[in-house]
Amino acid sequence: MSADTEKTSNEAVKGLKGIIAADSSICLVNGTEGKLLYRGYNIDDLAENATFEEVSFLLLNGELPNESQLADYQNELKKHRSIPAELIDTLKNLPESAPPMALLRSLTSLAGVYDPDAEEESYEKRLEISIKLISQIPTMVAAIHRIRKGLEPVEPDSSLCHAGNFMYMLNGEKPSEDATRAMDLILTLHAEHGLNASTFTSRVIIATLPDIYSAITGAIGALKGKLHGGANTEVLKTLFEIGSLENITPYIKNVRENKGKFMGFGHAVYQVEDPRAKHLKELSRRLGEETGEPKWYEMSIEMEKQVYAEIKRNCNVDFYSASLQHYMGIPGDLFTCIFASSRIAGWCAHILEQLDGNKIIRPKANYIGYEERSYVPVSQR
């Protein structure tokens, strides 16, 4: 189908790549320099020094908290950790075969039904709902994980930090210091990344002025897609498929001969090294030693070296997060839910920013169909 339509200066850009769709003070992603800033703070600085509680507060409020603000914020997160019993009852009645992200999407939507403040439109209530979701998404993810294994959900432990409690709810035992640090780092590094597909989805939805739960449900739906949130799951599958150090070279040769793709390498934005990747590598090494199973880290090191030699592409944040989360006792099909438990902070920050001076997002399509034509009766077609 074609048409001699009049050309305009606004020709369509597939995927909106490079199109500026919003003014935002939340995040800078510089793909040329390999730089990532949250509210002006370099991700290296935050990864080495800040906790996820500090980072999520920063994203929501624009500044890092002082001691008093941090204590209050931590208490707010702890206060909201438990989820309605009805969500657990519903989860137990959903199909065991359902993908974890489908379950998380459905639970998030249902959580809005049970929140009496869901439709409130004041900034204070919307901020409170954002904090509630940052706190409760990990509880939902942990419940999904345990119920799928035939286990009862673990109640939150208010003596633990956000990351430590998340690990405790997942595995049912107090995590080691390295495991807690690993979860905190994963949450920090994935918390925000500009106008990616799921974040843009959340802004498009909230711009129509529904409730925040609707926008977050849509964002989770976008993150569920294979082209967005599941790369580290594929990395783990690849490591399992290869199985040993000596199989890496023939695997790489086979992928190259069949013009395949190396999961966890390259990035849609970064033209140089993903600034987040290096922070996960060392923790993967340490947890590999701690669990007595260093081979997945050793395989990752060797694969990174050989793939770079072949295609001159650096690994991205997904590559070492695969072996790291495996060491943390997290199954591959739950990785994207862990991603959502982190990115919820960025989604909520963008939602609050969009609502400040909101305007509905209504882009224009470049029509390439037929010019006007006449209806023909069915007997004459």
The rounded distance, in Å, linking the Cα atoms of 342 and 191 is 5
DSSP state of 268: S
Tokens of residue 135, six digits: 């706190």
Residue 239 CA, distance from chain mean position = 21
On whether the CB atoms of residues 349 and 60 are closer than 8 A, the answer is: yes
The one catalytic residue in 80, 162, 190, 267 is: 267
* Beta-carbon-side half-sphere exposure of residue 43 (alpha carbons within 13 Å): 26
Give phi and psi for 287, each to the nearest 5. -75, -30
- Measured in Å, how far apart are the chain's first and last C-alpha atoms? 17
Rg of the chain's alpha carbons, rounded to an integer?
22
Q: Which is the catalytic residue, given 115, 184, 274, 318?
A: 318
CA distance 9 to 149: 56
Place of tokens 């320099």: 33
Structure tokens given for 38 = 């949250």
The answer to whether residue 162 is catalytic is: no
**Block residue for tokens 């209530």:** 125
The residues, any chain, with a CB within 8 Å of residue 115's CB and separated by 6 or more, are: 129, 132, 213
Structure tokens at 324: 């790291």
Task: Compute the half-sphere exposure of residue 210: CA atoms within 13 Å on the CB side of its CA.
Answer: 15
| Known catalytic membership, residue 89 | no
97 Cβ contact partners less than 8 Å away, ≥ 6 residues apart: none
**Tokens (6 digits) for 121:** 């439109």
Question: Among 111, 327, 103, which Cα is nearest to 224's?
Answer: 103
**Would you say the C-alpha torsion 89, 136, 28, 280 has a positive or negative sign?**
negative
Distance of CA 30 to the CA centre of its chain: 19
Strands 27-30 and 35-38: antiparallel
Q: Cα dihedral angle (172, 177, 178, 182), rounded to 10 degrees? A: 70
Cite the active site residues: 267, 318
